[in-house]
Amino acid sequence: MPGLLEAVQASQASSRTVNVVMLRLAPHADETVVAREIRRWKHLEAYTRADMDEILIAKLIATSAKQIFMFLVILAVVSAAIVAFIIYTMTLAKVREIAVLKLIGARNRTIAGMILQQALGLGVIGFVVGRTAAALWAPVFPKYVLLLPGDAVIGAALVMAICALASIVAIRAALRVDPATAIGG
């Protein structure tokens, strides 16, 4: 194994232990054969380029992806709660207007549609601000996260779905408003 001894000696000059040695094989050398030979030595393990790719992708990147996914789920739940709270508060502030709309003949689905539009509008604003901020700030973040156009489309669809779900509580509250409350004190 050309260079192995020199590499071990060089590393021992500065450190008393050797953890990892990277090998560059001669052209046409079979890496699986080399790895098998090394594994015969006691206390040594050898990984080929394919093994390293597997470790990187299946373990490190997959673990990071799971962590990021978990953060996304938590953020989605928190976002849904915030949007629901905002829309619900805005709806409660308009109880009298909703009662008037019902009194003058608006259908429940018209009122529900107005609240849904408000929630989706909030989602569109949030997505545009978020996507713009991500594009501007991504270069200064220590870890590069690749955002593909397809991811943005899926993200937009998820934001809209979250906002639509978040508006359900407010819609239920609006539909319970009695049109009679528009009249009198």
Q: How far is the CB of 180 from another protein (least distance, A)?
A: 4
Between CA 149 and CA 155 the distance in angstroms is 10
Residue type, 176: R
**Using CB under 8 A, which of 7, 106, 120, 175 touches another protein?**
106
Query: In the complex, what is the shortest distance from the CB of residue 170 to another protein, in angstroms, rounded to a whole number?
Result: 15
Nearest 5°: CA angle at 48, between 46 and 50? 140
150 binds another protein (CB under 8 A): no
Alpha-helix runs per DSSP H in 40-148: 49-54, 62-92, 95-103, 108-137
- Count of chain residues binding another protein (CB under 8 A): 18
Question: In angstroms, what is the minimal distance from the CB of 95 to another protein?
Answer: 11
Residue 120 lies near another protein (rule: CB under 8 A): no
For residues 141 and 100, what is the distance between their CA atoms, to the nearest angstrom?
51
* Binding residues among 163-182 for another protein as defined by CB under 8 A: 178-180, 182
- Does 139 bind another protein (CB under 8 A)? Our answer is no
Q: Which backbone phi and psi does 143 adopt, to 5 degrees?
A: -110, 125
Kindly indicate which of the ranges 37-45, 64-72, 105-113, 160-168 contains the residues binding another protein, using the contact rule CB under 8 A: 105-113
36 belongs to the binding site for another protein (CB under 8 A): no
Of 100, 98, 90, 95, nearest to 163 (Cα)? 90
What is d(CA 163, CA 158) in angstroms, rounded to the nearest whole number? 9
The interface mask with another protein, positions 83-102, x = CB under 8 A, is -------------xx--xxx
Q: What is the CA radius of gyration of the chain?
A: 30
Among 21, 38, 76, 103, binds another protein (CB under 8 A): 103
Binding residues (CB under 8 A) for another protein: these are 96-97, 100-107, 110, 178-180, 182-185
